Amino acid sequence: MSKYLHKIGGELWFKEEMEEGIGHSARVDKVLFDDEIDHQHLVVFENAKYGRMFALNGIIQMTSSDEFVYHEMLTHVPLYAHGEAKRVLIIGGGDGGILREVLRHKSVQSATLVEIEKDVIEFARQWFPETSNGAFDDPRTNIVITDGAKYVEETDERFDVVIVDSTDPVGPGEVLFTEEFYAGCKRVLNTGGILTVQGGLPFLQPWEPKMIKERQEKSFANVEFYVAAVPTYTGGLMTLGFASDAQYPHDETWLARRTSANPLEMGYYTPEVHAAAFALPAYIRKGLE
């Protein structure tokens, strides 16, 4: 049994190990996997309330009950803002949730998923088939198993939207938060292209969005942040980065027109939520100054 699982009063519990000394705990009703995979330690387990959950190196990555929040907001904000994205690049995202949401847009002709850990894709197929929902096998999908930073540095492909669904800036994910990586994302974006990134938990890690902003501003004219409330992400809100050289209005009337042209059944995203997500709480705005 790994160090992330603990016997407490006859029950088995998962305890998230964040360096801030806090984190989510969840009773483990059934262990499905608890072992090392190539670069990271993977725990997959079931919890009565949150459904099936998985953690990499002790940090919760996703739960079947609320993954729609994060995957909808990281995907539909750039895709509805752009409006006619044909080629999308996903860095990380080995669980397939972002890929599933990207492929729902009829404008998308190709989605390239660059994941460092082939085992994450394999285990996602096995334990979270509803998350990818067949997206890995969609004819528009190209899966590349390599480091995302290396990919954006070397590829000749060009994209309309780049979505970075990475782990936190530790271990293999650290390189996905560097100035060089953001310059690589800029290099592979077509004119008017948009980069969105997973930007951490601002209440617990206020340094993260600020670090991302300072590094992305070296390559992008406009670097903005928006928020989503993901129940299982400790600290309440999570920040997501939105960078482009173009200026996109986060206006709900404009977005309502966009979404009505390509209406999708959603659990969290609406044009109003999209627009409101960029109205940052004062503590997050201050943290970015």
Q: Which residue numbers are catalytic? A: 165
CB 198 within 8 A of CB 166: yes
Tell the smallest beta-carbon distance from residue 252 to ligand SAM (Å).
Answer: 26
Owner of token pair 């928020």:
227
- Residue type present at position 204: L
For ligand SAM, give the closer residue by CB, 77 or 255: 77
Measured between alpha carbons, how far is residue 20 from residues 35, 96, 130 in Å?
A: 24, 28, 32
**153 makes contact with ligand SAM (CB under 6 A):** no
Choose which of 23, 78, 93, 241 interacts with ligand SAM (CB under 6 A).
93
Stretches 8-16, 160-168, 206-214, 220-228: which one binds ligand SAM (CB under 6 A)? 160-168
User: Cα–Cα distance between 237 and 100 in angstroms, integer?
Assistant: 23
**64 makes contact with ligand SAM (CB under 6 A):** no
CB 69 within 8 A of CB 151: no
**160 makes contact with ligand SAM (CB under 6 A):** no
Tokens of 87: 């080629």
CB 199 within 8 A of CB 239: yes
The site that binds ligand SAM (CB under 6 A) totals a number of residues, namely 24
**114 makes contact with ligand SAM (CB under 6 A):** yes
User: Cα–Cα distance between 225 and 211 in angstroms, integer?
Assistant: 12
User: Cα–Cα distance between 135 and 156 in angstroms, integer?
Assistant: 24
For ligand SAM, give the closer residue by CB, 32 or 256: 32
Annotated binding site for S-methyl-5'-thioadenosine: 40, 115, 147-148, 172
Annotated binding site for spermidine: 71, 95, 165-168
SS3 state at 113: strand
CB 52 within 8 A of CB 124: no
For ligand SAM, give the closer residue by CB, 36 or 272: 36
Task: Report which of 59, 58, 37 is spatially closest to residue 120, judged by C-alpha positions.
Answer: 37
> Which residue of this chain has its Cβ atom nearest to ligand SAM in the complex?
92
**72 makes contact with ligand SAM (CB under 6 A):** no
Stretches 13-21, 45-53, 109-117, 267-275: which one binds ligand SAM (CB under 6 A)? 109-117
User: Cα–Cα distance between 138 and 121 in angstroms, integer?
Assistant: 14
User: Cα–Cα distance between 142 and 262 in angstroms, integer?
Assistant: 24
- Binding positions for ligand SAM, 183-222, rule CB under 6 A: 198
Choose which of 77, 111, 120, 201 interacts with ligand SAM (CB under 6 A).
120
Query: Counting runs of H as helices and runs of E as strands, what totals does the chain give?
Result: 10, 14
SS3 state at 281: coil
Choose which of 91, 102, 204, 273 interacts with ligand SAM (CB under 6 A).
91
Tell the smallest beta-carbon distance from residue 219 to ligand SAM (Å).
Answer: 18
- Binding positions for ligand SAM, 34-53, rule CB under 6 A: none
Tell the smallest beta-carbon distance from residue 205 to ligand SAM (Å).
Answer: 12
| Interacting residues toward ligand SAM by CB under 6 A | 61-62, 70, 91-95, 114-117, 120, 147-149, 165-167, 172-173, 175-176, 198
